[in-house]
Structures are given as C-alpha cells and as structure tokens.
Structure 1
Amino acid sequence: MATCDGCRNAEKAMMQGWLERLFEVVSSIGAADILILPHNDPDPDAIASAVALRHLLAQGIGLSCRIGYGGIIGRAENKALVRYLGQPLQRLSSTDLSQVDVVALVDTQPGAGNNILPPGSTVVAVFDHHPRREETAAAAFADVRSDVGATSTMLLTYLLAANIEPDPPLATALFYGIKTDTMGLGRGAGQADVEAYFYLQRRIDIQALVEIEHAQVPLEYFQGLDAALHAARIYDRVVLSYLGRMDRPDMAAEMADLLLRLEGIRWVMCTGAYKEDLLLSVRTDEQGEAGRLVQEIVGEWGSAGGHGTMSGGQVALRGEAPELVAWHLERRTLALLNIAPETPGRPIIDRAPSCK
C-alpha cells in the first residue's frame, strides 16, 4: 500500500510478528476444521474479510476452513458479491452450530450480540475494527483496531505479510468492502484504508464491480423505500423513520444510509420489525458518536454496537407491539440529541397526494 512496493515492505515488516503469532495459535489448536464466522446479515466488509481469512489460512498453513453466517444476505449488492465469489458462505442452522468446536470471528467480536457464536466454542481468532469488547480477551488471538475503517483493510495486511497477492475476485471483494464501510474513504477511513484502497484498485475486476454496485433490486426494495419515506419525520437536524414489518433485516440500514443524504440532516435512525425483534440503524455525519448513541438508545432493552458514523442494535419484542417499542426508542433518541420529545415531526412526504 503506501506507494505499493514501499507500502508492501512496510506492512510486511509491521505485520510479520502478528502473522507468525496467528499461524502459531491456529496450528496449536489442532483443529481439522475452523468455522469462520462474520456478523449476522453480513455486509461486503464482513464477506470479503471472511473470504480473505479463509484464503490466508489455506495458503499459509494448509488449513481448510468453511464460512458460515446467521441471518440472511438480503441486499441486492451483497447477493451479487456472494454470487461473484462463487457462493463461499453457508447459512447455518442450529444443527450446524451444534457441531462447531473452533471459531474465528471477523468484523464482529464475542459478546457483540450480532453473531451466532455457539456457546462453549473455542474462539481461536478475532479480527475487527469496532471498539474492543471485554469478552474478546478470551480469544486465543485478537486483532482489534478501531482506528481502521474496514476489517478488509486489516486482512489485506496479513495477506501481503504472507506474500499472498489477492487475485482479481478477492481484490474486488476487499476493495468493495473498504469502499462501502468507509463510503469511498469519506467516512472513518484511516491511512491504512487509503493505502489498501489504492493498492486494490489496480487489481480489481472492474466489470464485476460495476455489476455488483448496480445489481437489480426486487420489487420489495421499492415498497420498503416507499414505507421509509412516508414514515420519515424531520426533527430539526434528525430524521426518524419506522418501517413496520421488514422482509429482510438489513432494510433499516439501507434506508438509513439513504436518508442521511437529505440536506441539513446530521442524524438518522431507522427502525423496523423483523421476526421477534425490533432492529434499529443509526447513521450520522458527526464522526465518532454513532456507537455511543445507539448503546444509550437501546440501553438495558437489548444489544447494540458500532462506531464512528454508523451503528445498529436490536430489541427483543417479547410480545410488545413493534410500533410502540419503536416510539419509545424514538423518544429516547430525541432526548439524547437534545431535542424536546414533544417537538412535532415534519413529514418528508405528505401522505395526501396533491390534486392539480
């Protein structure tokens, strides 16, 4: 990265000890198979990081690993990425998890509440760019860097330290992972992300990237968009939107990304019900505050995580009406952002069509 021969040498020198330690720890476990587990409903950064780790362990120490995940891959672009990579991820059932002994976590951590880490399993390694959690101390190997904008950046440094150059599909996945998590280097990107981005840019499959980024979307996407826009209310510099029942769990995040582009808006929270949970996604352009805010919003009601400008959480409904739970979360959000909860929200779109 840096200029990229110079960057490679610098990165390899810095990463060699970490790489040797990783290989030593993984080899000492003596497992014939390791499950690589990204967070639930994996996004491009999680997908690319998982595939990169599998490639690193296969090429570096000859270890075969499989990649599993919980939740669903619902966003059209993410589905297109997985198809392009040859469907390397397997959606896991409770039966599958009962047979898992050793796990490596990517883009998530133990205790984060956003993964299906089996109870009692050995966590051999953790790679993440979110704030370090106390539970991560139990992992045999952990590389957690909250000053990096994407886990894909971290995994690339390991590949280069091992003299493994990513082929075009892996380079494309890692590039897209960095691009989406840092919003094209404009959101929470550090120097390592910049160097990784430009190193990978020269090695990607451009046509494949175009097809991934412009994947066709189903009718349900536009129905969800309609629901989000009609439900959205502006409170000063904040937009809140309750999407109702969602067909897929990442719809709230996708709508929050879109609504943050509204002129004059600094904060967005989108909520929606999926199965037995209320999910929420928070976005901001105020660097460093989203993770803290979402934890205060959810509080004792559920689990939350994130950092920088994007975060999310979930609250178990336990029989409560999802719109009521969403209303309480919205009141708490307004209070935390110093906006009087009784402030009337201004709709983005008037429900009544005008007649001319």
Structure 2
Amino acid sequence: MSSEQQLASLFQAVEGLDHLLILPHNDPDPDAVASAVALSRLLSVRTALRPTVAYSGMIGRAENKALVSYLDQPLELLDNLVLPPAVPVALVDTQPGMGNNTVPSGSPVVVVIDHHPWREASAFATLADVRVDMGSTSTILTEYYQASGLEPDQKLATALFYGIKTDTLGLTRGTALADIDAFFYLRPRIDVDCLLEIERAQVPLGYFKSFDAALRAARIYDHRIVISYIGAMTYPDLAAELADVLLRLEGTEWVVCMGHYDHELVLAVRTTRPAGGAGLLAQAVVGKQGSAGGHGTMAGGHIILLGRNPKTTATRVARLVLKHLDLAPDLKGQPLV
C-alpha cells in the first residue's frame, strides 16, 4: 500500500473520534518523540482532532531532553493526565503487546505506526502501518507529510531528521531506500545549529560516574563480547547510552549493558554483526521475566525484579547471554580496564 493510501486509511481510522491519545513507547527516544509530534500536528491540520501526546517512563538522556525542549515541550506525562474513559489510542514507534508502552485500561488501540517486527495484536487496530523494512518511524511520518502536501516546519523537520539519523546511525544501520529519501528531503529544511546543540547537549556529573562504573564493571568474553552491569541508574536510557560507547571497542561484536532503575533491571543489547540478532538475544534472556524487543543490531529489555537483588539478577542474565552466544555460562571474562 502506498503512503497516499496509508494516509487515507489513517484519516478514515480517526474519522468521527472526539479524542485521540498518541503514545510513543515508554522512555521515548528521538524517533519516537519526533514521530508522535509529527502525527499530532498532521492530524491537527488535516482533521478536526486535537490529539494529546503523552508518554510514560522518563526522558532522561541529555539529547532527548534537549529535543523535547526544542519542540516546546509537546509531550505530557501520562500519569498527570485526566483522560476520558476508553480514550482511543494511536501507538507510535511501538505496538500492542510489545510491553514497552502504557495503554490506559479499556482504551482501544485504533492506530499503530511502527517499523519494529510485526506483533499479532496490531491486526486489531483500525490502521496498522508497520513497515519492518524501514529504519525509523520518522521516515513513515515524513512520507505522510509528503503525501498530504503538508510541509513540516523547521522544528519538526529537524526532529524528524534527528529521529532518522539516530535510529539508523546516520544511515549506516538497518537503512532502507525510503530512509535515505526522507533524510535528504528533510536535510534542507532543518536548523543545523539547533541540531548540533541537541546532539552536543551537556550531561550531568552523574553520567561520568556511571561511565566510570560501566568501564570498571565491563568484562570481555572470547575477545568479542562485552558485558557490563553499572548498578543503579539515574535514568533508564543510560544503559543504552553506555552500550553504544562500549560497542566502539576494537574487535567487539556484542555488548550487553545492564543497570538497575526503579524496580527493574534494564538491559541494552548492541551488535556489529551484519546478521543482527540483538532482538532475539534480548528476548531469549528476558523471557517471561519482563519485556524485550528491538532491531537486528540494537535491542533492549526490562526485567521486573520483584524484590530480587539486581546485581544477582544481572549475573544470571550475563550467564544466559553467554549461553545464547554458544559460550560456557561460567566462562570468566577479562576486565576491560
């Protein structure tokens, strides 16, 4: 189905609705933020709806905070809202059943727009535009704008551009031709100076303390696998942030970085292998203890601790990671530093 047809289906899916709640995945990243805001503005212009954009979890990463601030704080914390009963929901950059979104009890999911692997529960939405070949959901929203004839303003163009850039690692990871086309469509429309400010957002002192902890805790297995448990985190995105750094170690094929946030053990999985497999690894080690998902080269998961010791749980996860990668679970790793 073409973007024009998907756009028409989107308008049909929300026709007659009095309210719409747009939800990205919990702890939204730039792709999720940009896509959710883009959908809200598109519907506000082309329909009678005035959607509410909300999120659950935390926006903790410095760059993500800077992006939300640049967009004039368009997202509201879901827990702070008083919503109509059974308010219809549009899920963006996530799907029903993924375990990384917080759909209010009794609310029907009428729209799903995503690029992650298909979930069967998405079939119950009035519109499920799930394009697993694309590297970002921002690409799908950019195509909606092109199909509608609506030009994204500079701030929104910058956000969508950044969403594509981060999710595809600058068009080098899981990239489709559509991502490239959207990237270069948006490029002349962005605010380069503001984008640089977002990308270079200053980080708190605690980031460097966590970075130090991650390096000291990191262990190298079979000269190609790095596993690190960084302890308590000030925000859940930190595990992914540090995993991206550890992946730069020469010769590394796999990184699993874990940390404790609130009542959960958060893990981030990264791989340099062209065949991918990060999502499968995350799902294998998390199992029924929580939720996990992701792409071929990047994935994440949450394990609900239920009073268990987070460090002990992280040790168990590390053993499962080694087993999944065909190594002895009790293999001793070499310190990174």
Same fold at TM > 0.5 = yes
Does residue 93 (structure 1) correspond to residue 84 (structure 2)? The answer is no
Which residue pairs with 1:127 in the alignment? 113
Paired with 2:260 and 2:297, the residues of 1 have a C-alpha distance of 23
Match of 2:184 among 198, 211, 215: 198
Which residue pairs with 1:50 in the alignment? 36
Task: Report deviation, 1:61.
Answer: 1.3
Task: Report deviation, 1:220.
Answer: 1.1
Which residue pairs with 1:19 in the alignment? 7
Match of 1:215 among 179, 201, 215: 201
Three-state SS of the structure 2 residue aligned to 1:242 is: strand
Three-state SS of the structure 2 residue aligned to 1:202 is: helix
Match of 2:292 among 304, 309, 313: 304
Task: Report deviation, 1:226.
Answer: 0.9
| CA offset digits 1:80-126 (Å, max 9, x no partner) | 00010000001121764675511100000011111111122011100
Would you say the 8 A contact 1:45–1:174 is kept in 2?
yes
Would you say the 8 A contact 1:98–1:118 is kept in 2?
no
Which residue pairs with 1:277 in the alignment? 264
Which residue pairs with 1:319 in the alignment? 307
Task: Report the aligned-residue RMSD.
Answer: 1.3
Which residue pairs with 2:237 in the alignment? 250
Does residue 139 (structure 1) correspond to residue 125 (structure 2)? The answer is yes
Task: Report deviation, 1:14.
Answer: 2.8
Instruction: Give the TM-score taking structure 2 as reference length.
Output: 0.97
Q: Which ranges in structure 1 are unaligned for 5 or more consecutive residues?
A: 1-12, 350-356
Which residue pairs with 1:117 in the alignment? 103
Percent of pairs with identical residues: 57
Q: Which ranges in structure 2 are unaligned for 5 or more consecutive residues?
A: none
| Letter in structure 2 aligned against 1:272 | G
| CA offset digits 1:145-194 (Å, max 9, x no partner) | 11000000001111110001111101100000000000001111111101
Match of 1:152 among 130, 134, 138: 138
Paired with 1:272 and 1:97, the residues of 2 have a C-alpha distance of 33
Instruction: Give the TM-score taking structure 1 as reference length.
Output: 0.92
Would you say the 8 A contact 2:135–2:168 is kept in 1?
yes
Match of 1:259 among 226, 242, 246: 246
| CA offset digits 1:31-61 (Å, max 9, x no partner) | 2221100001000000000011011101111
Paired with 1:328 and 1:171, the residues of 2 have a C-alpha distance of 43
Task: Report deviation, 1:15.
Answer: 1.7
Three-state SS of the structure 2 residue aligned to 1:93 is: helix
Would you say the 8 A contact 2:231–2:259 is kept in 1?
yes
Change (3 A) 1:270 1:207: same
Does residue 337 (structure 1) correspond to residue 325 (structure 2)? The answer is yes
Task: Report deviation, 1:71.
Answer: 0.5
| CA offset digits 1:264-318 (Å, max 9, x no partner) | 0000001111111111110011243111111111112221111121101111111
Paired with 1:136 and 1:119, the residues of 2 have a C-alpha distance of 17
Paired with 2:214 and 2:143, the residues of 1 have a C-alpha distance of 39
After the TM superposition, which segments of 4 or more aligned residues of structure 1 sit over 6 Å from their partners? none
